Structure formats: structure tokens, C-alpha cells
Structure 1
């Protein structure tokens, strides 16, 4: 099984790198030559230089000179972003340069793992550059830096790697300082925090700035790299517990539940748009817990499923919806795939893991999770708001997944605003763009009020469901006095029921985006719908009036949707049911 998994990893890496080489530009203009133009963003992503490591991995593994030549060309093209202070711009017209840390890691790995296949001249050029950017990191990045915590973790790893390779004890000491800082950003229930603004703020409910995507794809992998490089067994053991906490949010199909994450505007279902990936971390952790071996297989399967024509797409339905692929996903996740391939097979443990079942409440994010043999559901009443229009709050069931159907609900950002424009993408199919965050919507004096903006909502949970009490609030998190609501969530394996009550004297709209491909069979019947996916049908029914159904697409986390609009009467007392059955049943 280990050899079969490694073969799949090599095949996927070759698929991605062959596509990247095909897109690498040949031009007499040195500003263009050796770069790669992104089909989605229509510009040159500066971090494409990180691909030198996966390209060198394949060059060494296969003996195919194309990969080494491509790596050398990307390195040379990167000089267009290399500054006189020995840092790299993230992009040509962006001053952000802390991503230099990630390139330092790629360059160090390329040299230590595969440097023997370079000519002496190229090797000297690369190691000279590594010395220069290592000095920049040491001179410019300390634990007092205001960047998100994932950068401190990455720099801890990079300083440790470069300190050992270049024999610089001061770099190793800086690595220890940064790692200690990161350990101060682990909650008592083993969440990594520091992905928000303000980074260290703890809310009235005791919630932290936690993002599942960045935790699993950046911070955890980099702290593990530091712990391995520095032989820090105490930290490694602690990180095993951190990883085990995050396993609660990893779905059986390899997806991540980041519905409550502070940076879920970059949620891609398989992870986050511009982070490096979780596969290498899961591979390492599988040595201590077989559950991570199962996670490697599930994640790899999902990445394979989201790869089309050599590109890794930004979500499961991007290709089906006709969206363009962004190169950024490909070259960052290729870096981690290469690390998996370079990991000795003997160190992997891929035994069958016990299925994670039960009910848990996590105080650090005020979020509850239910896992049964068939169903995954999460409900969040966190009050950490990274920005207006971000992730849902208010006691929302942000994720609902069924083994036979897959994602049913996947609540992304509440408002379709653009964040980090160079790291996210636009769609030309603007008419179909919607938020995947379901909500109750109520208009009063020209403002929209909803449950998804209520930071003070209260939630009580047990093993069968939850009761949520909220107040309608606007996007500025300001409550509308007297406009209250209540939801009782009841969870069974094949039936999930919501019992809905309001104390609002006007009708309210329930907007319910359901994950559904455009080509899946769909029937509207009475006050509900029936969706058929292969041999499975999802039936949604309500006592409320179904007014209309519209198609939609959510860029984050990347699903096609059918959006149901129900009208709830004033002072409503209604119910809503999700039922999954075999398709042949009526």
C-alpha cells in the first residue's frame, strides 16, 4: 500500500509539473522568459519560483533533464523580483516580501535533497542566493513581527533548515525563538491561532483567530519541520495532539471544514488557495497515529479529483462551472507533494485507522462537531470576526456532509467581497456568483439583518443536536432590538431536521444554498426539492413556502449550488428537513 501511494504521489506531481513546464514562457524579454502566466489571474505569480524544489525532485527521480532545466529557468526568472535587500517581492507590483521565507525553504530542500544533479556553477549560484536570503530572514524577521502566525512557523523551520545546512548557529537560535513564539499560540485545546487581526485577541466568548486551512497547510507542517530538524521531541509530541484535534475537521473524502475559519475567503475545500498543503505533515504524523495515514490517502484522492488537464483547480466544481485554473494552487502544493516523495517509505505508517465518531465542542472556536458513520455536521457560534462579511457566526450549521451525497452545506464567506486580490480569483460568470453561506434574511430601514452576523448568539449542544438562540444583526454586527430567532438542530444518520422560530412581525426569507452540480437531476416538488446524484437522492422539505430556486456558484469553497428561497411567516414556527436515501426510493 505504501508503494502504491507513493506511485500515485509521483504520478500527480509529474502531471502538475508537466503542465507547469508547458506553461513556462520562452521569450527574448528577460522579464518574461522563464516565468509562467496564470490562466486565471493573467499575471505572473512570483511564488512560482518555489517550484524549483518539486522540479528538482522529479529531475533526480526520473533522470529527465526537462525538470532540472525548468527549475533553473524559474530561478533565473525570479531575479525579476529579487531586491537589493536580498528579499523577493511576492509579486512584481506588491511590496509584500515575507514569502521570501517559503522560497528559502524550497531552495534549501532543492540543494540538500537534489543539489548533486546541478552543475558546480549553478550550485554555487543557488547556495550564494540561499546565504543572502537567510541573512535577510535573520535580520528582518523576529518573534515581534506583526505577520500572521503561519509566517513565524515558516521562518522557524527555514532558519532551522538553513542554520544546519549553512552551519550558522545564530540561525538555529532564531529558529528556537520563533518556535517558542508559535507554541505560545497553541490553545489549551490544541488549536493553532494567530490568523486574524488583531492576531492575539481573545473574544468575550473566549474565541481565537483560528483558520483550519492555514493551520493544516502552513503552521502545523512548518512546526513539524522545525521539530524534526532540531530533534525537538517534546514539541513533536505536542504537535501530534494538535494534529489529532484538527482531524475532527477533516472529512472522509479529504475535504476540510473551514466554514468557521477566519480566512475562509481562501477556502478551496481541499485546503486554502495559496498555502503549501497538509500531505507532508499528515505523512509524518502517520508514524505516530494511523489516522493520519488515512488522511493522506483521502487528501491525495481529493487533489487527484480536482486536477484537470494538469491543473489543480480551486475547488471541486471549478472545472465543471467553466472557471479557469490558478497556477498558484499547483506549484505550492507540488512543493509538499515532493516532500512526501522524498520522505523515506519506511517511515510511513498507513494501517487502517479507527473511524472518528461522536460529538465534541471546542471552546477555542465555540464550535461543535458531530460525526456518525454517515454524517458530518458542524455548528459555530464563534464571536471572532476577522472582518465584516467574513465567515458565518450566529449558530450556523456551517458544514453538513453525508457519506452517500458528499457536501450538502458548505458555508463560505457571508458576503462575496474581494480579499487579497492577487491571491484570489474573479469569475466572468458574475450573474451566478453567490455566497454559499445559508442565512435568514430580514430587511428593515434599508438594511439587511441576518443570523450570520450575530456575534452574541448562544448555543447549547448535546450528542443529538443543538439549540441556538440569536438576534438578527446587520453586517456591522449591530443587533436589531427585539428581532430574535431560535433554531433546534436534530441529527440522525439519514435525516437532519431544523426547527425554526422567530419573533419578527414581518415575513423572513430563508436563503439555503445546497451543493449541487448543474447536471445533477433536480425536481421541485411542493415546498421542497429532490436532487439525484448517481444512486443517491437528497430530499429537502419544509413547512415554509418555497418561493423560488436559482442556480449559483461559490468561489469559496468552490461548489456549484442550487439556492432555495423559503418564505417564513411573521412570528414563524417552521421546520426544515434534509433526508438522504437511495435514488430508487420515492
Structure 2
């Protein structure tokens, strides 16, 4: 009897141990998606006009600009899914109201304008959400409503069938339309839409390079576009292609997306943030993703069965996203939105991320999913993506992205919104374990190419670390160098070296006579930067600027003429000048070191160098180290 009881106790103990281990390794992603989806649906519902006498009855009103964005009606699907999950009729009613309002806004040709602008490419997003919502609430629609929804879907699908190509739109719209037309073909029982979707999908994947980065987001050359943007790919294009492949069984497209995803996974940082610091549309980078792109959960849900790391990437990014939800329920533009912005965010991030979570919820197939560590959680590696000239470094405490991505918008030149992304071999993202971003990046010069999406931010200075000078010819910096050379490798058991070389240039990509090399030496506890300048045609005063992300409570103390201590609470850092012939200054124009995207502020540390008499070369070395 005693032996039996002991054996039974051991069995129970082992079962409990196994259960706890299993619990630690698994998560109910459906539950995680639903939790945040419902919260976003609630705040979207709060923004809906519910008075039947109101001409905008059913629309969602934006706090930022008061506009009734037609794209906000993509919330029709998050509302419908929230109804499916909870059974609460308030979500059903919200879905019907917003769907009916959206249909009333449809143009005669079947499109929707992206109010307050004239662009109609977002018709693909709106009609896809309308179809996905219809699947869940059709039984609750009146006979008249069913007919109007069907007609609107048919007209919108017809419009996309006629106009959507890479010549018409950036590649993310083309990729999304692959899903939209495939779904329309099934919804309307018309094979021509599926055939068109296949044509578009195959043309889209033809624009993918060997590393899996998709070209087609930038400016137009002759008829179509080039330029890769990791953020729009992860949050729009790849899921568009993947969902199309799921609907049609297209193995060629499916395998191409799976190949691309292996590279893109490396840009989910250990804390779950999504690193689009270097992409050509990084002017909308928020650190959790993009302000107007959908989100990465739908993509990872599509392929979660392929690799347990995808479930972890999805969860970690979702957890990071939650940290960017404001007390009013809206999703912010970045971690310090309330500190740097005087007004609430546009409704865009909230409804785009909600639709992404709704799709992720439906595509998730497992009740409990086994997870695995992200590649970026491992330490002691360096990875180069040579097709885009990007290098990543990960040590015990640091993770960095160094960008020399050389895309050029030749036709638009300095007028192009894509040519103010960080480049020139800068560290566009520097993250520290148990701290977060030590430095980040923003556009080199802020503008408002899309007034709806870009808030006013007069006088802001770039958050990106840089070399610069200004003289009678203008402003020159390594950030405008799109032809620099990069080499990288491991130099010790725990040390990695990255070297870049180029010319300081202006916004027109013209050099003024100062060359540079930057050598980065990463170890577990320090980053040493060695900059060599060559004055071959000019001898200006050079500034090297390191904007340190200034989280609330961070204290900067100048110890001496060569040293600054940075006390960030749980982490402490030391900035130390290691060479001669430089003047260390701190805090100059600090009030202007903030950005709407990503919503961060920084405190500038500045080194000023004057040319040394009798020499055309100059070296400057400094170190950023972890002291706690």
C-alpha cells in the first residue's frame, strides 16, 4: 500500500513537473490576440459616430484631425471578430454600422478614396476586410444590406482587377491585392479574379532579392518601383502573398514567402520591437512596426506551424506593442509619445493593428503553441544581409543594426521622401539588454510628405548618430552617403568589428571634400567607435553627434572634459573620449532632439573637431560602455 501511494505520488509529482515545464514553453496565442483585439475594438467603438441623424453615422472619427477616414472602416472586420469571440451585440452593431457607412462612401468606379487624400489603392484593404467581416455577420444583415454589401464587394473587386499593378501602386498594395482578389474569386465564385491574383503574385515575388527582401516600395524609375522596406514587407506584403497562397494553394509563392521570412525574423529584436530603422519607409517607423501598416502577427500566424520561433516573434512583438498603448486606449507613435507629442495619435495605428490581430486570431490553428527563442536572443554573432548592405551584431549586452543600404530614388532625388532614411554606415538601432534602445534613428530632415500621416514637428533634429558639417555650400553628413562600403567580421572570441567608408555628402548626394571611415568594435560590455577623417578638398569644423535616447528619469553627468556618465536607473553607461583634438559638449539644442516617428526624444553628446595644422587626416576614438 505504501509503495502504491509513493508510486502514485511520484506519478503526480512528475505530471506536475511536466505540466509546469510544458506551460513554460507554450502559450495560447489565440487568447493573446483576442485580449488585445477586444481592447482595440472597444476604443474604436468609442470613436464611432452612433447618432443616426449624423451624416457620418457609422464612421470612425479621428481625434488627431477630426477626419472620418474611410480606411478606418477596415475596423468592420475587428468588430465582426470581436462579436464572434464575445457574442456581445455591441460589436455586431458596430460592424454593421461601419460597413454600411463605408459602402455609402464608395466611388462610382468601385474604389474608395483614402480620405482626406485622393489615393484609391487602399481599396484593396477595405474590400478585403468587408469580405472577411461578411463571412461572420451575413446572417445578421437584412436582405437589403446583404445585397448592398455584395454589390460593393463586386464593384471594388472589379476596380482592383482593372487597375492594380506595380505600375499603379507600391508593391505592398499589389501583394495585398493578391489576397483580396483570391478571396473575391471565392466570394463571388468568379475564376477570373483568382487568375489575376496569381499573375500579380508571381510578378510580385519576381521582385524579391536573394535574401528575401522585396523591392518596389520606393520612387518610380520609368514605370515601376524599386527599394525595399522591411516594415511594410513584414506588416503588409508578405502576409498578403502568404494569405493568397493559403487561399489558392500556390506552392511557388508560399515557398518564396517562407524563404523571405527566415531573413525577416532577424529584425524582431530581443524585446519584441520590430527594427525598420533602415527601410526606405522608415519615416513611419514606431519601433513596434509602422504607423499605417498592419502588423506582423498575421504573417507569423500564417507560418507558425513551420517554425516555433515564429510564434515567439509574434507574441513578443504583441507584448511590445501593448507597451505603446496609451491610457486612452489608442496606439501611440512610439514609446515616448506622451512626452514628445502634445496631441493624441491618429486612429490609423489602432485600426491597422486591430485588423492584423483579427486575421492572426482566425489563422492561428493551435490551442497551445510551443515556443522557441528568437535568433536575436542568442548572443555572440554577426550577420550580414549583403543584398541590402545591412549588418547586425549581437553580443551579451548589445544588439545593433548598421545600415549602408544604397537604394536611390534617381528620378525624384532630394525631393524624394525615401532619401532621408539613415544610411552611410550609421548605427540605425542600438539596443541594450535590460534597458532598451540606447540610440535609435529618425529621418535626417523631417518633412510632411503625407500631411495626414505626418504631424507638425517644427525644428526637430535627427535622432540618428552622425558625422556632419555645415559651410557655405550647405549641410553635409554621412547620412546622405548611399554609396559607402562596408566590411564586417569577428575579431575575437567575444568581439565583432564593422568598418564603413564613404564621403560626407549633401541631400543631392554631392560630396564637398571630406572622406570618412567608421570602425565599430563591439564587445560584451562596450562599443568603441574609431572615426578617421580625410580632408582632401575642404577643411571644415566637423561635428560627431551621438543622440542618446532620453528616457524619463535618465541623468547625464559630465565628469570631466572627456567623460559623461549616463544613469538610466537599472543601467548605467559611460561615454568616454579616448583620443585628442576634440571638444566634448553635451545638451546642445536638446529640446529639439525628438521625433514623431519613432516617438522618442534624445539627449545629444557632441564632439567638435577642427582640422589639425599640417595634416590632412584626423582620427577620433570614443567608447560607450556599460558600467552597471
**Structure 1 residue 519 and structure 2 residue 553: aligned?**
yes
Aligned in 2, Cα 1:458/1:201: closer, same or farther, shift over 3 Å? farther
- Do the aligned residues in 1 keep the contact of 2:239 with 2:302 (CA within 8 Å)? no
1:67 pairs with 87, 91, 104, which one?
91
Task: Say if 2:433 is the partner of 1:410.
Answer: no
The offset of 1:349, in angstroms, is 4.0
Instruction: Give 1:291's aligned residue.
Output: 309
Deviation per CA, 1:361-394, whole angstroms, max 9, x where unpaired? 2122111111234321121222213453511221
Contact 2:301 2:364 in 1 (8 A): no
Secondary structure of the corresponding residue to residue 548 of structure 2: strand
Q: For the residues of structure 1 that align with 2:576 and 2:138, how far apart are their CA atoms?
A: 61
- Using structure 2 for the length normalisation, give the TM-score: 0.86
Shift of the alpha carbon at 1:343?
A: 2.5
Q: What's the CA shift for 1:510?
A: 1.3
Structure 1 residues 145, 116: closer, same or farther in 2, change over 3 A? farther
Match of 1:439 in 2: 466
How many residues are matched? Answer: 572
* 2:583 corresponds to 1:545: yes
Q: Render the CA deviation track for 1:178-206: whole Å, top value 9, x for unaligned.
A: 00111101112211111101369999xxx
In 1, the alpha carbon distance for the partners of 2:200 and 2:367 equals 27
- Whole-angstrom distance in 1 between the partners of 2:374 and 2:386: 25
Q: How does 1:67-466 map to 2 (within 5 A)?
A: 67-79=91-103, 81-92=105-116, 94-141=117-164, 143=165, 145-198=167-220, 209-308=227-326, 309-323=328-342, 324-346=344-366, 349-353=369-373, 355-356=375-376, 357=378, 358-386=381-409, 388=414, 389-427=419-457, 430=458, 433-463=460-490, 464-466=496-498
Change (3 A) 1:351 1:3: closer
SS of 1:287's partner is coil
Moved more, 124-133 or 99-108: 124-133
**Is the 1:264–1:390 Cα contact (8 Å) retained in structure 2?**
no
| Cα distance in 2 for residues equivalent to 1:421 and 1:270 | 22
Contact 2:572–2:626 (CA under 8 A) maintained in structure 1: yes
Deviates more, 1:167-176 or 1:445-454: 445-454
Q: In 2 relative to 1, CA 445–479 (structure 1 residues): closer, same or farther, beyond 3 Å?
A: same
Q: Does 1:498 align with 2:529?
A: yes
- Matched with 1:485 is 516
Query: Which residue does the alignment assign to 1:555?
Result: 596
Superposed CA RMSD in Å reads 2.2
Contact 1:484-1:502 within 8 A present in 2 as well: yes
How many Å separate the matches in 1 of 2:489 and 2:240? 35
C-alpha separation in 2, matches of 1:103 and 1:354:
33
Pair 577,556 (structure 1): closer, same or farther in 2 beyond 3 Å:
same
Q: How far is 1:529 from its partner?
A: 2.8
- Alignment partners' CA distance in 2, 1:109 and 1:557: 31
1: distance between equivalents of 2:276 and 2:467?
21
CA distance in structure 2 between the partners assigned to 1:215 and 1:149 by the alignment:
9
Q: 8 Å contact 1:201–1:209 — kept in the other structure?
A: no
Aligned position for 2:619: 573
Work out the CA distance in 2 between the residues paired with 1:348 and 1:299: 18
Counterpart of 1:40 (choices 64, 85, 98) is 64
Kept in 1: contact 2:340–2:599 (CA 8 A) = no
Q: Any conservation in 1 of the 2:341–2:596 contact (CA below 8 Å)?
A: no
**What is the CA distance between 1:87 and its match in structure 2?**
0.8
Between the aligned partners of 1:97 and 1:560, the Cα distance in structure 2 is 35
Q: Distance in 2 between matches of 1:277 and 1:409?
A: 23
Residue segments in structure 1 that go unaligned for 5+ positions in a row? none
The 8 Å contact of residues 280 and 337 in structure 1, kept in 2 or not, is answered as yes
Aligned-residue offset at 1:524: 2.9
1:354 is displaced (CA, Å) by 5.8
Contact 1:283 1:348 in 2 (8 A): no
Unpaired runs of 5+ residues, structure 2, are 1-22, 491-495, 612-616
Distance (Å, rounded) in 1 between the aligned partners of 2:212 and 2:221: 17
**Could you tell me how far 1:457 is from its partner in structure 2?**
1.8
Comparing 282-291 and 151-160, the one that deviates more: 282-291
| CA displacement at 1:340 relative to structure 2 | 1.7
Structure 1 stretch 25-34 or stretch 214-223: which is displaced more? 25-34
State the secondary structure of the residue aligned to 1:283: helix
* Equivalent position SS for 2:150: helix
